[in-house]
């Protein structure tokens, strides 16, 4: 299965074999290009995908020693994401499938992240609870199997990744802000400030992170500046996000009775979050699973895997080229 990912600012291509596993993968990140603007510029992202996707495809097929005649299907990210960027991958993927006479599968971007830990050993067994923290999405999902998803909770405003990026911008950090804030937080004093843990004092599994960004802003404004202020605010912010996610995950495991937690998406690479969730899962008698760090962010491997699983279940796309900027994971079957 050939997988193509172009939903935002990373071009990913991979080949996955249902028996041999991941054969090859390649990724081009646009971070350096967008850093000049402090965020993703959709038109620039789309144009860069056009330039990168076919060279990456040739690189991956050469690396795997696979010819076009050996490809049994083509998977591409069909949504959600930036529409122009999605259309690049959808157009290339659907056209290759037509030219090669094989099925095409449009993959839901968040389903790709959700299934990415299945690329690892040991892989989580169904059912499990998934925490998806990718870009503009923060979701808790009850996963009974491929295509059997029920959203338990989601962010009512800013997602965790968005809150990281916006708070990093307040602190004068570069793009992407999340990793930069995490590095700065390592130098911070955890006892100087305590930020609220939003929506943890009431029932439910929804999230709200926009207030933490505002709390960081008022703390910076009302505190006399010193050499450690930025690092201490970064640490307080990160601790609040990590604690909030951990509390909600523990609540979801208890409410569903699931013994397995899957964490995927860019924020899932945060070391403090991983440590907190591992400690929580051990205390709950469960286990937590992640994709490898390089597959936490957008990549072609997760799309190839998801496409292979869906193709095996009989799914395929029609002849039209479709992409969806918005798409609920609960609409999948």
Ligand-binding annotation for 298, yes or no, is yes
Tokens of 16: 């996955």
Tokens of 159: 């997602």
Ligand-binding annotation for 134, yes or no, is yes
**Residue 100, CB-side half-sphere exposure with 13 Å CA sphere:** 19
Ligand-binding annotation for 270, yes or no, is yes
Ligand-binding annotation for 133, yes or no, is yes
Ligand-binding annotation for 137, yes or no, is no
Ligand-binding annotation for 265, yes or no, is no
Ligand-binding annotation for 34, yes or no, is no
Ligand-binding annotation for 178, yes or no, is yes
Ligand-binding annotation for 165, yes or no, is yes
In the annotated binding site for substrate, the residues are: 132-136, 165, 178, 270
In the annotated binding site, the residues are: 109, 113, 132-136, 165, 178, 270, 298
In the annotated binding site for Fe cation, the residues are: 109, 113, 298
């Amino acid at each position: 299965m050939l997988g193509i990912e172009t939903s935002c600012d990373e071009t990913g291509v991979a080949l996955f074999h249902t028996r041999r596993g991941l054969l090859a993968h390649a990724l081009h990140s646009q971070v350096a290009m967008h850093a000049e603007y402090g965020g993703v510029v959709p038109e620039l992202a789309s144009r860069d995908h056009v330039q990168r996707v076919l060279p990456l495809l040739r690189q991956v097929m050469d690396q795997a020693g696979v010819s076009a005649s050996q490809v049994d299907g083509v998977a591409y990210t069909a949504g959600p994401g930036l529409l122009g960027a999605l259309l690049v991958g959808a157009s290339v993927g659907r056209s290759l499938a037509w030219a090669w006479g094989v099925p095409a599968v449009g993959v839901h971007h968040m389903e790709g992240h959700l299934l990415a830990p299945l690329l690892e050993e040991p892989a989580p067994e169904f059912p499990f609870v998934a925490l998806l923290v990718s870009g503009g999405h923060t979701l808790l999902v009850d996963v009974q199997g491929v295509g059997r998803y029920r959203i338990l909770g989601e962010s009512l405003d800013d997602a965790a990744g968005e809150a990281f990026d916006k708070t990093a911008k307040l602190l004068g950090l570069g793009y992407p802000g999340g990793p930069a804030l995490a590095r700065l937080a390592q130098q911070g004093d955890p006892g100087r400030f305590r930020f609220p843990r939003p929506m943890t004092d009431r029932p439910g599994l929804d999230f709200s992170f926009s207030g933490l960004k505002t709390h960081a802003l008022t703390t910076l404004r009302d505190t006399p500046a010193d050499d450690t202020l930025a690092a201490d605010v970064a640490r307080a912010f990160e601790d609040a996000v990590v604690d909030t996610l951990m509390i909600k995950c523990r609540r979801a495991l208890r409410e569903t009775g699931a013994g397995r937690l899957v964490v995927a998406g860019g924020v899932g690479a945060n070391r403090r979050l991983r440590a907190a969730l591992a400690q929580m899962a051990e205390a709950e008698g469960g286990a937590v699973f992640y994709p490898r760090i390089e597959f936490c962010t957008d990549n072609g491997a997760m799309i190839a895997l998801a496409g292979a699983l869906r193709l095996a279940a009989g799914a395929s796309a029609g002849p039209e080229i479709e992409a969806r900027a918005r798409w609920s994971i609960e609409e999948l079957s």
